[in-house]
């Protein structure tokens, strides 16, 4: 059975962004949190709770449906994968994502899509994220 990423205990999150750093370093060889497939943001202001925007591994992937170049393909076990060589950078997947989990890399002109590798959950110091069986 495939595993997927879940944000399960965000009340414990301290906003260290370790999850975002690990994702961008491992998947994109970059030290910027802007290159991360996971987004941790405040719900409002300095005292707002922290929220994680992660791919929800939909079974009916809207991002896949709107991709005109078939660059987004279904991942076994849930979620999607990006075939970068097919991607034309149209950004339609970003607008279609119901979880607001796809961002855009302006340097590469490609979307940033979670691969459900689990590295962000592994390095989260407070177990806010889980990589679990679907």
CATH of the domain at 90: 3.30.70.20
| pLDDT at residue 46 greater than cutoff 90 | no
Q: Answer yes or no: are the C-beta atoms of 89 and 79 closer than 8 Å.
A: no
The least confident of 48-62, 63-77, 110-124 is 48-62
Give the model confidence (pLDDT) of 2-24 as tens digits.
Answer: 899 999 999 999 999 999 999 99
CA-closest candidate to residue 84, choices 67, 98, 62, 100 = 67
Compute the average pLDDT of residues 81-109: 96
| pLDDT given for residue 77 in this prediction | 85
Q: Domains in the chain: how many in total?
A: 1
Whether this prediction's pTM lies above 0.95 is answered by no
Provide the residue range defining the domain that includes 34. Answer: 3-133
């Amino acid at each position: 059975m495939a595993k997927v990423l879940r944000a399960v205990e965000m009340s414990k999150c301290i906003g260290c962004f370790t999850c975002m750093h690990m994702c961008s370093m491992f998947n994109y060889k970059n030290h910027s949190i802007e290159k991360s497939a996971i987004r941790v943001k405040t719900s409002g202001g300095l005292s707002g709770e922290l929220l994680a925007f992660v791919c929800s591994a939909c079974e009916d992937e809207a991002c896949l449906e709107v991709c005109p170049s078939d660059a987004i393909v279904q991942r076994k076990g849930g979620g999607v994968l990006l075939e970068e060589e097919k991607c034309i950078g149209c950004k339609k997947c970003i607008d279609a994502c119901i979880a607001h989990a796809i961002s855009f890399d302006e340097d590469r002109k490609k979307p940033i899509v979670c691969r459900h590798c689990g590295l962000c959950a592994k390095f989260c110091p407070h177990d806010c994220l889980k990589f679990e069986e679907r």
